[in-house]
Amino acid sequence: MQIGIDSFASITDKPNTPLERANAIDDLLMRIEVADQQGLNVFGIGEHHRHEFQDSANTVLLGAAASRTKNIILTSAVTVLSAADPVRVYQQHSTLDLISSGRAEIVVGRGSFTEAFPLFGFQMHDYDEIFTEKLDLLLRINQSEKISWSGKFRPVLNNQAIYPRPYKPQLPIWLGVGGTPESFERAGRLGMPLMVAVIGGETQRFKPLIDLYRNAGKKAGFKPEQLKVGLHSLGFVGANYSDTIETYFPGYQKTFNKIGRERGWSPITLGHYADMIGKKGALVVGDPKTVAEKILRHSQALGGIDRFTFQMDNADLSQKQLLESIRLIGQEVIPIVKAGINNK
């Protein structure tokens, strides 16, 4: 199992000034560098177009990270493909793959926020149709240097060559999903690795959807080892369980109450938080042993996962706390998870 981190380059706990925006990016690059040094497998950067995040040009950030790292996989988390040109998405990530000597990946999705649609001139009523069309184009570009293609939302391509080609023969392209059965089935039918975002409720509730993905992939002729499953969850690791649980809650509550006011969710309470940090809850927060055991438990509940990524910078945690959490993941969580898998 690969273990890593996803980040949105958040500055929710600081004034949104030019200096703080620059510092947020510098801090992010330092975290990626430390994650690489500590042996984490993957680091993803999201894409948002909001005041509190600095990740709207995530391939630029990943390119900067590539120059400061040696081994870690660098991926988007996610690329909002509906609002992007698949040709440019491919070119940018192929360039990243060349800069990093083959460490680039893409996680494509529709995003959890909607700001990108009006920003780039798309309509929400085209939500599914536009994503389906652009995903088809991206996958075809990845498979062939020259393509002919036509669609509704982008100009026609007539025997057009797309450059540069990546360091690897093809870019790994994962499909990021939330909770719609159609998305899981589509990933399986296309034989794409699946990245499941679970930020609330009980993680095990996704088992039927992951089964749908695997069954669709099998029916389409893909081998089980081609149908990878990743899990993205909110999490944080500290040396002491009680202190870590106490540290994480205020920022978590603040962030999700803000999002909740936008979406009509109920306010976050201590009772809700207790459920989320429980054995079946989606939050992966605690000391290294507790966190590692929960990752293994979630993997077992979902029929096995190939990748787990923490989303940590959403709870007003300091750079010092985030760096220490990365160290603990590398030095303590990963060895426990590996030992647990090997002992099965």
The Cα 265–Cα 77 span in angstroms is 24
pLDDT on residue 152: 93
The Cα 81–Cα 174 span in angstroms is 12
Residues 224 and 218 sit within 8 Å (Cβ to Cβ): yes
Residues of the chain with pLDDT under 50: none
Reading the block at residue 40, the tokens are: 């984490």
The Cα 66–Cα 80 span in angstroms is 21
pLDDT on residue 112: 66
Concatenated DSSP letters of 34-96: HHHHTT--EEEE----STTB--TTHHHHHHHHHTT-SS-EEEES-EEGGGS-HHHHHHHHHHH
Label the pairing between strands 146-149 and 104-109.
Answer: unpaired
pLDDT on residue 14: 72
Per residue, what are the HEC states of 114-170? CCHHHHCCCCHHHHHHHHHHHHHHHHHHHHCCEEEECCCCCCCEEEEECCCCCCCCC
pLDDT on residue 22: 92
Respond yes or no on whether the N-terminal peptide bond of residue 284 is cis (omega within 30° of 0). Answer: no
**Nearest to 285, CA basis, from 241, 316, 319:** 241
Reading the block at residue 162, the tokens are: 């797309």
pTM above 0.85?
yes
| Domains recognised in the chain with CATH numbers | 2-342 (3.20.20.30)
pLDDT on residue 5: 98
Residues 154 and 88 sit within 8 Å (Cβ to Cβ): no
